[in-house]
Amino acid sequence: MHCKTSRRTFVKGLAAGGLLAGFGLWRPPVWALGGPARPTLLSGSEFDLDIGEVPVNITGRPRTATVINGSLPGPTLRCREGDTVTLRVRNRLDEDTSIHWHGILLPANMDGVPGLSFDGIAPGGRYEYRFRVKQSGTYWYHSHSGFQEQTGVYGALIIDPREPEPFQYERDYVVMLSDWTDENPARVLKKLKKQSDYYNFHKRTVGDFIREVGEHGWAATVAERKAWAAMNMTPTDLADVSAHTYTYLLNGQSPAGNWTGLFRRGERVRLRLINASAMTYFDVRIPGLKMTVVAADGQNVEPVSVDELRIAVAETYDVIVEPQDAEAYTLFAQSLDRSGYARGTLALREGLSAPVPAPDPRPQLSMADMGHGGMDHGVHGSAAPAGHAGMDHGDHGSMAHAGMDHGAMSHGGTDHAAPGGEMQAHPASETGNPLVDMQTMTPTARLDDPGIGLRDNGRRVLTYADLKSAFADPDGREPGRTLELHLTGHMERFAWSFDGIPFADAEPLRLKYGERLRIVLVNDTMMTHPIHLHGMWSDLEDEQGNFLVRKHTLDMPPGSRRSYRVTADALGRWAYHCHLMFHMETGMFREVRVEE
């Protein structure tokens, strides 16, 4: 990206996080005393947003960011449930742009996805978004055009409820996590297409092999290495893009920038955690403080106290902390692959900081993580290489179907490998498919699993099983049919898809307006995938098929099988995709059509 210093004032390490205070009642925000320069906050029902370019220097090298109203992140937008909002977005770039309101229920033509919702906003053009706000909570917004989300087009969206919230707090901060690269994102993707592990600098060594032979024996170690090689991966393939190119940001600040939020002793502080990154999962903790999780993806949950939580790309969590003893606490968000971290500080006054913990040991995937029935070193299991899973290599050229629709078949839960407990079946379109290099054979829900790198670490870690919506199933109906989709990929080619069919070749998923259906996702890959359905809620089920928690983005770990219910209550064309930007860009995307 070229630096265009003539376009805007030079900005170094811009921070524009939301710094708000309230008790859950609508009123003008109260700002923290002192503290950093006041971040951009726009509140009300009418907003004017300009998307343009601005020079930045985040790593010591001047670059150009694509930003909203001149700030990175964009301004925090705050409105009220029940109001009708108008957002006028002007494009000052030399390419098309857009804004998607992530997790917001609205008419399809207001969703902001070029090619589905509208044509996009042409250079010099303007688009007026207008819709009634039907929900409350912590959300965010971002571009759905090209790689603009990676280069800075994102911001927080806070919707105050009409009724008081069931929890109280005296201070309120947005904590927006993101990843920044000095490279052109198109160049990053080009490198991944040529060599999918280009940014993985934690590959196993000869020394690791010798150590494993000593621990497990020659035969078991060689067999395990062969199994990983057949899947074109290594156990250290945890993230496609690492801190080799990424700098991890908290409210636009690098770790050295140390974003700081102030508090007074005894105050309850609400932190609105938002993962606005393009490709990075973060594990978040505040050493010395418990976090009480009170909302997930904008929806209230029964409070649960934890030491740490993993936040997938595009998820949001609201937590309340109560600083008591120390003068400063570190907000620590390490990347899943432990290659780097974002950090900030909660402090009594400016200039204070607390020790920054060292990143945890780098985790490694096991065969058990891949759905191999709990077997590990030296045992062939879980995610078998495609073509070695006992499947017929027939012609799949005409199999561009829209998923495995099982009609009214009920799965009765997701705590087993597949319906009835048999080995996992796979769609015919995966058979002999050059875009599928692995298949999970015994996937499980893993709702109570903290995730790789977080198990048995001595801290209380949030799991999906801990999340219980503070309300009953809003629909209440049993699903009338089940739609099963497999998350598929080929690591060496860096190709991603549903059912082995990339978006360019896939038929839309067609839903009937008003129906209640169950979607079952099976992750046949060795990567985590945050899956986002636009326009409708995703009601995650527990292992017995009961309503657990309402979300807009669902994390799918490797080798997992999870189910959720959807009410098709929004007519139109909607996007359905993995929220890892490069996975979406290379094919893990479907169109959903809700029709009369």
In a domain, 246, yes or no: no
Provide the pairing of β-strand 561-567 with 538-541. antiparallel
Confidence of residue 365 (pLDDT cuts 50, 70, 90): confident
In a domain, 511, yes or no: yes
Partner residues linked to 76 by β-bridges: 41
Q: What b/e sequence results for 191-229 when a residue is b if at least 16 CB atoms lie within 10 Å of its CB, and e otherwise? A: bbeeebbbbbebeeeeeeeeebeeebeeebbeebbebbe
* Mean pLDDT, the chain, integer: 85
Query: Of the segments 23-27, 206-210, 379-383, 421-425, which one has the largest average pLDDT value?
Result: 421-425
In a domain, 160, yes or no: yes
Tell me: the pLDDT tens digits for 462-476? Answer: 999 999 999 999 999
pLDDT of residue 210: 59
In a domain, 469, yes or no: yes
Please compute the mean of the pLDDT values over residues 361-368 and round it to a whole number: 77
Domain of residue 128 covers 19-170
Q: Give the side-chain half-sphere CA count within 13 A for 164.
A: 5
Partner residues linked to 306 by β-bridges: 291
Question: Taking 70 as the threshold, does the pLDDT of residue 226 lie above it?
Answer: no
Q: Counting beta carbons within 10 angstroms of the beta carbon of residue 303, is it exposed (0 to 12), middle (13 to 18) or buried (19 or more)?
A: middle
Final residue in a domain of this structure, among 170, 188, 219? 170
Question: Taking 50 as the threshold, does the pLDDT of residue 379 lie above it?
Answer: no
Which of 14-18, 35-39, 153-157, 526-530 shows the lowest per-residue confidence on average (mean pLDDT)? 14-18
Tell me: the pLDDT tens digits for 63-93? Answer: 999 999 999 999 999 999 999 999 999 999 9
How many domains would you assign to the chain?
2
pLDDT of residue 239: 86
Query: Which tokens go with 51?
Result: 């998307």
Of 586, 591, 562, nearest to 440 by C-alpha is 562
Tell me which amino acid residue 369 is.
D
Final residue in a domain of this structure, among 128, 146, 170? 170
Please compute the mean of the pLDDT values over residues 100-122 and round it to a whole number: 97
In a domain, 28, yes or no: yes
Final residue in a domain of this structure, among 170, 202, 229? 170
pLDDT of residue 223: 64
Question: Greater confidence, 274 or 196?
Answer: 274
pLDDT of residue 238: 80
In a domain, 99, yes or no: yes
In a domain, 247, yes or no: no
Please state, in angstroms and rounded to a whole number, the distance separating the CA atoms of residues 146 and 25.
Answer: 38
Q: Are 55 and 63 in contact (CB under 8 A)?
A: yes
pLDDT of residue 368: 67
pLDDT of residue 362: 87
In a domain, 163, yes or no: yes
Confidence of residue 228 (pLDDT cuts 50, 70, 90): low
Provide the pairing of β-strand 154-160 with 137-142. antiparallel
pTM comes to 0.85
CATH number at residue 143: 2.60.40.420
